[in-house]
Structure 1
Amino acid sequence: ETPWTEHAFLEPECAVAMPFDEGVFIYSTDQGTYDIQHECSLMLGLPPEKVIVENKLVGGGFGGKEDASVQHLAALVAYLTKRIVKVKFSRQESITVHPKRHPMWMDITTACDENGYLTAMKAVVVSDTGAYASLGGPVLQRACTHAAGPYNFQIIDIDGKAVYTNNPPAGAYRGFGVTQTCFGSERNLDMLAQMVGISPWEIRHRNAVRPGQVLPNGQIADASTGFVETLEAVKDIYDSEPYVGIGCAMKNAGVGVGIPDWGRCRLLIHDGQIEIHAGASCIGQGLGTVLTQVVSETVDISIDKIRYCRPNTAKAPDAGTTSGSRQTLITGEAAKRASELLRAELKSHTLEDLEGKDFYGEYLAKTDKMGADVPNPVSHVAYGYATQICILNEDGTIKKMVAAHDVGKAVNPISVEGQIEGGVVMSLGYALTEKYEIKDGYPVSRFGTLGLFRADKVPELDPIIIEKPGVEVGYGAIGIGEITSIPTAPAVAGAYYKLNGEFQTILPLTGTPYSRKK
């Protein structure tokens, strides 16, 4: 701890570095402390233990903080000059060089029988990944593997390509590619429903995957699958409104697809308190609160005896990247396992007796690789499901957004509601107002002209939490961070189609009260 700690709180894209024991100490706002340590130690030619990274709580990441932005620059200057250094982006620098959501062009064909039961899908997806790869490959993979949605049919043919261009880089962004493909596939369902003569809600309910059925990727839906429950939670209000659109989605919890997906947690007894040390970056999603709750519940001890410590590579074990809605489930389970060891010791000892002792827990979310030659491969350890509806007034303004989300176990319901509300508002901008304008490979948009959805335009939001047991680890909690932004745009587009009969396939939508005046 140094008096310079506070300086890392000043700006969202900012890093502070200082010389430290022939290496560097970095205060960073990132989605992976160990990722930043790895990249900076490679750049400096230092062993990892000579590069200490501590995560500071500054707002959300939404995928953008998976890429190193300023951390390596601060580390290099501090290492060479032996002085404390702060590097930050101006807002325009951030708009220019920081990765954005991938633009995607999609050609999607979806088929059903005369009763509206889905039979097949074919899709071609092309994404503009900009001048650098960033996470263009994994984003495209997730966009394609989730393109068929949470429905019970398996005949799919999806081809995806990420293309290098002279545009600014595109990378991870909340929803990780699924936001784009979900918009296309969900719009197709609206068209099929109309052709069959049933409602958009009904075609989704008929095809919704149930526990024990097989997802389009071949994985068997587990007992926690609550997609039908999300649909049924919104049915009454959907049926009662004339101008209403619907969108549904599934999203993984955990990195999955055979990638080692570890959660790790260390509990240290210090000064009569339980210190929580986990290398998982807390970036506003409430992970510190969740881990505190897990330890309190498992150890059966009051929270005033627990202290959550900022992730620090010198003190906390590597718990992977804060990405893929994974930390509540995976590092939560690791914290639970460490807590169970501590609870056993407390049967015969006090916290004071255990001063200085460590209790360590880890959990591997084991999955199968893409293309694994096994029946019903496990692509991800858990999935969340969602149904959102958009209700319009007669003048075309949004009257209400209703968002029902299956989360397994809501460890912190207030935090879950906050995630749902934030994700919906973020994608209202995606659907209606945002446009990142580029000319000759360079952004001409400024912060004030990006079209971010304004607070005074936010409609009434009704988050509905669906809890359903079935995930055996992490108290049954399924991540919520990414899926909240995925089904919003098709729900909004469907509502405007009901209002004006215009079937739009490009975002942002045009001809709405929220469209920019030319």
Structure 2
Amino acid sequence: MYTFILNNIEVKVNEDINLLEYLREQEDLTSVKNGCSEGACGACMVLVDNRPMRACILSVSKVQGKEVLMVEGLSQREKDVFAYSFAEAGAVQCGFCIPGMVISAKALIDKNNNPTTEDVKAAIRGNICRCTGYVKIEKAILMAAEFLRENISLPIEDEDGKVGERFHRVDAIRKTLGTAKYVDDIKLPGMIYGSALRTKYPRALIKSINVAKALSYPGVEAVLTAEDIPGERYLGHIVKDWPALIAVGEETRYIGDAIALVAAVSKKILKEALALIEVEYEELEPITSPEEGLKEGAPKIHPKGNILVKEVLKRGNAQEAIKNSKYVVTYKYSTPFTEHAFLEPECAIGMPEGDGVLLYTGGQSVYDEKHEITALLGLPEDKVRVKSAYVGGGFGGKEDMSVQHHAALLAYKTKKPVKVILSRKESIAIHPKRHAMEMEFTTACDENGILTGMKATLISDSGAYASLGGPVLQRACTHAAGPYNYQNIDIVGKSVYTNNPPGGAFRGFGVTQSAFATECNLNKLAEMVGISPWEIRYINAIEEGQELPNGQIADASTALKETLMALKDEYLFHEAKKDEYVGIACALKNSGVGVGIPDIGRCKLTIINGKVHIRTSAACIGQGLGTIVTQIFCETTGIDPKLTVLDQPDTLITPNAGTTTASRQTVFTGEAVRVVSEKLKKTLATKTLEELEGEDFYGEYSFATDPMGSDKPNPVSHVAYGYAAQMVVLDEKGLIKKFIAAHDVGRAINPTTVEGQIEGGVVMGLGYALTEDYPLKNSIPTAKFGTLGLFRATSVPEIDTVIVEKNKAQLAYGAKGVGEIVVVPTAPAVQGAYYKLDGIFRTKLPLEDTAYRKSKK
């Protein structure tokens, strides 16, 4: 028997179990989150005798006789202060890490109620945030300290929620206080637990599977193999090449492949039963790189061969332009796989509903999940319902099936609610990553630095399955020439299957890779011409009415030059200093899927009890979409935000607004909200909300684009492009002193949210540039969450954001997507600064021999 004080109440525990498990499973206290179970992320931070400690690495016996405090146990004053401060500062995005941040903040403030920014950074060093870049979290903690120190009354909130207002996120308080429910926070009566047995080898022939021992094990509810799948076994966004379970007689393709599924009444029995499944393997040599996969006679990972897709983009005559140019540079570049490292591991709960299934998920599109699961189970569309809980970060990494299909299948077979969750180790191994790419880029200019042509080859590692490898390669290629005014391009890209973990969607969607190459080449050309990196970008920057390298005419909202001008004075000031070294880079990034693919945003407004329920399936994964659509609604109708309710995505009640991807939701679903809000506003001219009780209003928005390979002289590839210029300042030791990011966002629906997206993207981009890696040994990942190289607060420099607003269009009140572009120019900007510092022209990420990472020789 163990006794301790939990949130000011004495508790007694019979067995010595993990403290995090006890708090969540037995006490149902869900402010502590299971982010990594490795003591690395801080999402489960608690106070033990006033010291911040990670619950995942404590046992109940370790807190015997001590006081344990969580967010649930804070005083009401503290809850109010932290909730207001985090909302006001814009410190909450996906929210999964925030209760842990609050606990670390309380520990600091209790000891030092007048902390400096450096004190705050040190206090939250044990807490990782993947969304915010820490800047606004630090601001929130300083604000909370002042409120508590000075005993200041909290302001009375009086927000009208209009476009352009720094409106508090609609979910900020729930996320700060830990009451927002993510999937793993949900418990259902009679719920059991499921998991998959994964292959031992990245590539092996499955000769036999014996489940008899597991099936007869007490407490086991089901053991399923490939033959138990009632519908289509192969899944995938576009290419259906990913089996839900590998069958006997087939080869595994990567270390995450599932061989069998088990459902059991407890997690302990589940683990024991998985170990009882006997699989006979014939281990085979894995294909560990695209180079190996392209060799003549290489084993075919898929029946059609090892090339997933090839892209060829040609405009003008690049070869002739390059031949006749004054200056030409050619370099080979290498970028790594990158782990998304969202704080919430993948989790889903399947449960029977009638003769179908209901699924609780935390992904990036409930309709994508519905379509995949409907096919897997062989059910009609109306027999599968998917509801989204809160989503603890995504960045593209939650677009594919990871646990959703397995939870649905187990629930369908057992007729019981089944929760399936990945451990952090499983998550790192299983879900698709940012594609590793090997690239060769040639860029040319005349004697004045005017760009004349470029040629590039890109080889992308698609890993074991297609996922979104085709579209990612497309974006890498279509953006490879950068946001500049020249039209002679020759680009060839290949996406190649290997036995590595799959490559898939990741913030930046291929452009992070190709932009690194093209922007670094510009740095070298500027040196050869004798002009600054800023100047070569400015004189070539695309302007309204000019042709982008892909042929699309730049519209009136184009503001690349404005972003560069926003940095000019700072650039010249820091460049003139002898002990500072400046790098700069630009980017463009599409909003919307584009390239001829149907792209539709949808929204429904339903009046219930005098309030307007905003209903769309568009997933909020931390970017703040729920707040954005609320502001667009309030701007259009003039209705008080207190009379609105944002419903979670649910395939039964929310219309299909497409996937949260491609920086599309603010534009497409935002415009759908504006359209339907205009309808409601017109009706309200003659009726009241009370008179409209139970009424539905529907709106949608679509935009037709031209497909890849269009023979139009000026095809329209995307509805809009955002532009950016970012600048980094190094000191003489190679440490980043300051970072400035200027972004053309069209119109900032919520400036605080835009700043948060930029800050978070910059920090993610700094990690990509300097520290993050996803090492593989014979196609098996070797990193843990704590060794991925994620930036912590103590490494983050001063970040200034400049929001450029130029778009006067009515569409979504002029907004463009900003979620992806923020991570694109960061790495080449850092590369340029280091080139200025030491004269070494680095071509591989993460950059080696820096103050952040030494060469592995």
| Global fold match (TM > 0.5) | yes
Counterpart residue number, 2:852: 514
Counterpart residue number, 1:93: 426
The structure with the larger Rg is: 2
Q: How does 1:4-23 map to 2 (within 5 A)?
A: 6=181, 8-10=183-185, 11-23=344-356
Q: How does 1:55-94 map to 2 (within 5 A)?
A: 55-94=388-427
Counterpart residue number, 1:392: 730
Task: Give the number of equivalent residue pairs.
Answer: 516
User: Is 1:173 aligned to residue 506 of structure 2?
Assistant: yes
Q: How does 1:467-482 map to 2 (within 5 A)?
A: 467-482=805-820
CA distance in 1, matches of 2:708, 2:791: 37
Superposed displacement of residue 454, structure 1: 2.0
Counterpart residue number, 2:691: 353
Q: How does 1:325-404 map to 2 (within 5 A)?
A: 325-404=663-742
SS state of the match for residue 285, structure 1?
coil
Superposed displacement of residue 9, structure 1: 4.5
User: Is 1:270 aligned to residue 608 of structure 2?
Assistant: yes
Counterpart residue number, 2:540: 207
Change (3 A) 1:18 1:306: same
SS state of the match for residue 566, structure 2?
helix
Counterpart residue number, 1:232: 565
The unaligned stretches of length 5 or more in structure 2 are 1-27, 31-179, 186-343, 576-580
CA distance in 1, matches of 2:592, 2:673: 16
User: Given residue 446 of structure 1, which amino acid in structure 2 is its aligned partner?
Assistant: K
User: Is 1:494 aligned to residue 824 of structure 2?
Assistant: no
Answer with 220-229 or 163-172: which moved more.
Answer: 163-172
User: Is 1:196 aligned to residue 546 of structure 2?
Assistant: no
Superposed displacement of residue 516, structure 1: 4.8
Counterpart residue number, 2:341: none
SS state of the match for residue 399, structure 1?
strand
Counterpart residue number, 2:60: none
Counterpart residue number, 2:367: 34
The unaligned stretches of length 5 or more in structure 1 are none
Counterpart residue number, 2:657: 319
Counterpart residue number, 2:791: 453
Contact conserved, 2:456 with 2:490, CA < 8 A, in 1? yes
Contact conserved, 2:439 with 2:456, CA < 8 A, in 1? yes
Q: 1:429 aligned to 754, 767, 770, which one?
A: 767
Contact conserved, 2:595 with 2:706, CA < 8 A, in 1? yes
CA distance in 1, matches of 2:808, 2:785: 44
Superposed displacement of residue 374, structure 1: 2.0
Superposed displacement of residue 472, structure 1: 3.5
CA offsets, 1:208-258, max 9 Å, x none?
A: 000111100000000000100000000111111130000110000000001
CA distance in 2, matches of 1:64, 1:338: 31
Contact conserved, 2:355 with 2:383, CA < 8 A, in 1? yes
CA offsets, 1:134-161, max 9 Å, x none?
A: 1111100100000001000011000000
CA offsets, 1:304-342, max 9 Å, x none?
A: 111110011000111001000000010010011100010
User: Given residue 686 of structure 2, which amino acid in structure 1 is its aligned partner?
Assistant: S
SS state of the match for residue 159, structure 1?
strand
CA offsets, 1:85-131, max 9 Å, x none?
A: 11011011011111111111110000101010000000000011111
User: Is 1:104 aligned to residue 279 of structure 2?
Assistant: no
Superposed displacement of residue 517, structure 1: 8.1
User: Given residue 510 of structure 2, which amino acid in structure 1 is its aligned partner?
Assistant: G
Counterpart residue number, 2:496: 163
SS state of the match for residue 491, structure 2?
strand
SS state of the match for residue 359, structure 1?
strand
SS state of the match for residue 126, structure 1?
strand
Counterpart residue number, 2:518: 185
CA offsets, 1:275-318, max 9 Å, x none?
A: 01111111111010011111111111110111110011000111
SS state of the match for residue 461, structure 1?
strand
SS state of the match for residue 373, structure 2?
helix
Percent of aligned pairs with the same residue?
62
CA distance in 1, matches of 2:854, 2:760: 22
Contact conserved, 1:387 with 1:404, CA < 8 A, in 2? yes
Counterpart residue number, 1:258: 596
User: Given residue 656 of structure 2, which amino acid in structure 1 is its aligned partner?
Assistant: D
Contact conserved, 1:9 with 1:56, CA < 8 A, in 2? no
Superposed displacement of residue 511, structure 1: 1.3
CA distance in 1, matches of 2:531, 2:516: 20
Counterpart residue number, 1:444: 782
SS state of the match for residue 657, structure 2?
coil
- RCO higher in 1 or 2 (8 Å CA, sep ≥ 6)? 1
**Structure 1 residue ranges (4+ consecutive) displaced by more than 4 angstroms after TM superposition:** 3-7
CA distance in 2, matches of 1:15, 1:517: 41
Superposed displacement of residue 59, structure 1: 2.1
SS state of the match for residue 412, structure 2?
helix
